[in-house]
Chains A and B, each alone.
Chain A
Amino acid sequence: VPKSKFTMRLQLKERVGLVSRTAVSWTVIWALLGIGMFFVSRFLRLPGITAGLFTFEIVPYFIVLVVFAAFGGPLAGFLTGFCGTLLFDALVGGTIVWAGTAALGFGLFGLIAGWPMVRKDPANGRNLVKLAVASLLGWLLNAAMLLFGALVVGQMSILLALLWMLLPYLTTGLTTIIVFPPIVVRLCQLAWTAALEPGYHRLRARRGPKNPPRRTIHDPSTGTT
Chain B
Amino acid sequence: MTAMETLRRNKAFLTFGLLALIISGLVVRPTAPSDVGYPVITLPDGRAINTAAYPHLDTVQIGLYNWFRDLIMNLDTEDFTGIPPIFTQYILAFSVDAMATLFETTPGYRTDYYRAWQEQMIAKMNSSWIEEHEWNMMGFNNVSQWGQTAGFRGPGNIMWTGHYAMMMSLYERFFRTGKYNTELQSYLNQFNHTMTYDMAGNLHTGGFWNCGMIVCEPYIVFVQCNTIPQWTMHMTDTMWNTTYSSAYEYGVNWLMQNMVDDHGCFIDGYFVVELPPEWHAMTTTYGGIGPARLDPPVNHTAENSYGVGWALMLFDSYEPSITNQMYDDYVASYIRHMYPDYAYLLGAYSYPDKFGATDIFADMFGLTCTKEAGDWALHRKLMNFVYDPWPIRWNGYSCYFDSSALPMGLGALLVMVNNGFYVWATTPVLMKDLAKPRPQSFFNLPYISSTTGNGLFVHQATYDETNHVFVLTVNAHEPATLTFSNFPGVQGIQSAAGPIPAAWWSQNGSQMTLELPPGVWNVVVY
Chain A residues with CB under 8 Å of chain B are: 46-50, 52-53, 55-58, 88-90, 92-95, 97-98, 102, 123, 125-126, 128-129, 132, 150, 154-160, 163-165, 168, 175, 178-180, 182-183, 186
Asked if residues B340 and A97 are in contact (CB atoms below 8 Å), the reply is yes
Considering the complex, give the chain B residue whose CB is closest to the CB of A102.
B339
Which residue from B23, B390, B402 sits with its C-beta under 8 Å from A175? B23
Asked if residues A157 and B353 are in contact (CB atoms below 8 Å), the reply is yes
Q: B13-21, B52-60, B80-88, B132-140: which lies at the A interface? A: B13-21
Chain A to chain B: the 9 pairs with minimum beta-carbon distance, closest first: A93-B340, A125-B12, A52-B405, A157-B355, A50-B391, A89-B340, A155-B352, A160-B355, A179-B19
**Chain A residues closer than 8 Å to B9, beta-carbon distance:** 123, 125
Q: Tell me the minimal C-beta distance from B235 to chain A in angstroms.
A: 35
Asked if residues A57 and B355 are in contact (CB atoms below 8 Å), the reply is no
Asked if residues A58 and B28 are in contact (CB atoms below 8 Å), the reply is yes
Which residue from B19, B338, B340, B402 sits with its C-beta under 8 Å from A92? B340
Answer whether residue B396 sits at the interface, using C-beta atoms and an 8 A cutoff: no
Chain B residues with CB under 8 Å of chain A are: 9-13, 16-17, 19-20, 23-24, 26-31, 336-341, 343-344, 352-355, 359, 377, 381, 385, 388-391, 402, 404-406
Distance in angstroms between the alpha carbons of A199 and B339 in the assembled complex = 43
Distance in angstroms between the alpha carbons of A163 and B356 in the assembled complex = 12
**Chain A residues closer than 8 Å to B26, beta-carbon distance:** 49, 56
Distance in angstroms between the alpha carbons of A168 and B377 in the assembled complex = 22
**Chain B residues closer than 8 Å to A159, beta-carbon distance:** 355
Distance in angstroms between the alpha carbons of A130 and B354 in the assembled complex = 41
**Chain A residues closer than 8 Å to B11, beta-carbon distance:** 125
Q: Tell me the minimal C-beta distance from A105 to chain B in angstroms.
A: 12
**Chain B residues closer than 8 Å to A53, beta-carbon distance:** 389, 405-406
Q: Tell me the minimal C-beta distance from B212 to chain A in angstroms.
A: 37
**Chain B residues closer than 8 Å to A97, beta-carbon distance:** 337-340
Which residue from A57, A95, A160, A178 sits with its C-beta under 8 Å from B344? A160
Q: Tell me the minimal C-beta distance from B284 to chain A in angstroms.
A: 21
Distance in angstroms between the alpha carbons of A178 and B23 in the assembled complex = 11
**Chain B residues closer than 8 Å to A129, beta-carbon distance:** 12
**Chain B residues closer than 8 Å to A155, beta-carbon distance:** 352-353
Distance in angstroms between the alpha carbons of A46 and B406 in the assembled complex = 25
Asked if residues A56 and B27 are in contact (CB atoms below 8 Å), the reply is yes
Asked if residues B338 and A175 are in contact (CB atoms below 8 Å), the reply is no
Asked if residues B13 and A128 are in contact (CB atoms below 8 Å), the reply is yes
Distance in angstroms between the alpha carbons of A48 and B405 in the assembled complex = 17
Considering the complex, give the chain A residue whose CB is closest to the CB of B390.
A50
**Chain A residues closer than 8 Å to B337, beta-carbon distance:** 93, 95, 97-98, 154
Q: Tell me the minimal C-beta distance from A128 to chain B in angstroms.
A: 5
Distance in angstroms between the alpha carbons of A135 and B228 in the assembled complex = 54
Distance in angstroms between the alpha carbons of A179 and B17 in the assembled complex = 8
Asked if residues B341 and A92 are in contact (CB atoms below 8 Å), the reply is yes
Asked if residues B338 and A182 are in contact (CB atoms below 8 Å), the reply is no
**Chain B residues closer than 8 Å to A89, beta-carbon distance:** 340
Q: Tell me the minimal C-beta distance from A169 to chain B in angstroms.
A: 10
Q: Tell me the minimal C-beta distance from B353 to chain A in angstroms.
A: 5
Pairs across A and B, CB under 8 Å, 7 listed: A58-B24, A93-B340, A154-B338, A157-B359, A163-B389, A182-B12, A186-B13
Asked if residues A183 and B20 are in contact (CB atoms below 8 Å), the reply is yes
Which residue from A98, A132, A158, A165 sits with its C-beta under 8 Å from B16? A132
Asked if residues B27 and A49 are in contact (CB atoms below 8 Å), the reply is yes
Q: Tell me the minimal C-beta distance from A129 to chain B in angstroms.
A: 6
Considering the complex, give the chain B residue whose CB is closest to the CB of A122.
B13
Asked if residues A46 and B13 are in contact (CB atoms below 8 Å), the reply is no
Distance in angstroms between the alpha carbons of A159 and B408 in the assembled complex = 15
Q: A58-B27, A93-B340, A186-B16 are in contact. List 8 more A-B contacts (CB 8 A).
A: A52-B405, A89-B340, A97-B339, A125-B12, A155-B353, A157-B359, A163-B389, A178-B19
Considering the complex, give the chain B residue whose CB is closest to the CB of A52.
B405
**Chain B residues closer than 8 Å to A57, beta-carbon distance:** 27-28
Asked if residues B12 and A128 are in contact (CB atoms below 8 Å), the reply is yes
A88, A126, A164, A179 interface centre (most CB from chain B within 10 Å): A179
Distance in angstroms between the alpha carbons of A156 and B359 in the assembled complex = 12
